[in-house]
Amino acid sequence: MLRRLCLLLLFTGLLATAAHAQAYEPGQNYVVRQGQLPYAGRTQYSVNVVVDGNEEKTREYLQKFMKETYRVPLKSGLVDMVTKKNGVLTAKQVAGTNISSRAVDVYAATTALTDSTTEVALFGGFGEKTFFSPDLSTTEFKRLQAMLERYAPAARINAFRQQVLDAEAQVAAIDKEKEKINRNMDNTRANTAANLKRIEELLRQNQANAQSLSQDSVRLISNGQLRETKVQVLERRKTRLAGVVAK
């Protein structure tokens, strides 16, 4: 029984991988397609598109776009602690959309395909038990698809704009680093010039010290000679004094 269950899970995983690979090939970004995904214990029909940008920025712009364009306030779900995937964005019982005259639930799931591409899946329904499908709710499903078709080019422009902003930020960071390096070089040049000036002053002082030492050496010799002469005079005077006292 356990073996059959494992084989069934493996087969299901292979089918899901194959379906995804067939639906989304590299180079097919911004092409809206129909898809499926598991939600609420069942497989739900969705409209999918792959856009440029990491998952976090993609979710932020998707929420902004849906709120500003269709007044659909998608709210973030909880992060799955097992898979670490972001929760499904949801907007419950939203009235006044162009999907239907009735209030609808709108959902959006995002999946990071790479560090720079994200898949967006949009799906919806009238409630937890009535989800849109291309067969049973054709009109609502097509209108949901139209939403994503309008979102795709806007997401492309936003992605390119974000790439420009990122590049500008990188250039600004490089320029800032360049300014820092130039300041360091200027400080080093100034310090080197000050050191050279100080060295010149020390060399001049050393030359003056050497000259002073030479002069003091000559004076010391003269001092020694003079002392020797004076000592001789002193000795003669002591001898003469001693002779006078003895008489």
**pLDDT recorded at residue 85:** 65
Under 8 Å CB-to-CB from 100, ≥6 apart: which residues?
126, 139, 140, 143
**The dihedral sign for the CA sequence 139, 130, 50, 22:** negative
The domain locations on the chain are 2-159
Which contacts of 33-41 are long-range, i.e. CB under 8 A and separated by 24 or more positions?
34/134, 34/145, 35/121, 37/109, 37/121, 37/123, 39/88, 39/107, 39/109, 39/123, 39/131, 40/128, 40/131
Which portions of the chain are predicted below pLDDT 50? 1-24, 26, 81-83
C-alpha–C-alpha distance, residues 107 and 89, integer Å? 6
Residue 42, phi then psi, degrees to nearest 5: -140, 170
Describe the crossing of helices 138-246 and 55-70 by its angle, rounded to 10 degrees: 130
With CA atoms as reference, report the closest residue to 86 among 122, 119, 110: 110
Residue 3, pLDDT score: 46
The predicted structure's pLDDT at residue 80? 52
Report pLDDT for 166. Answer: 92
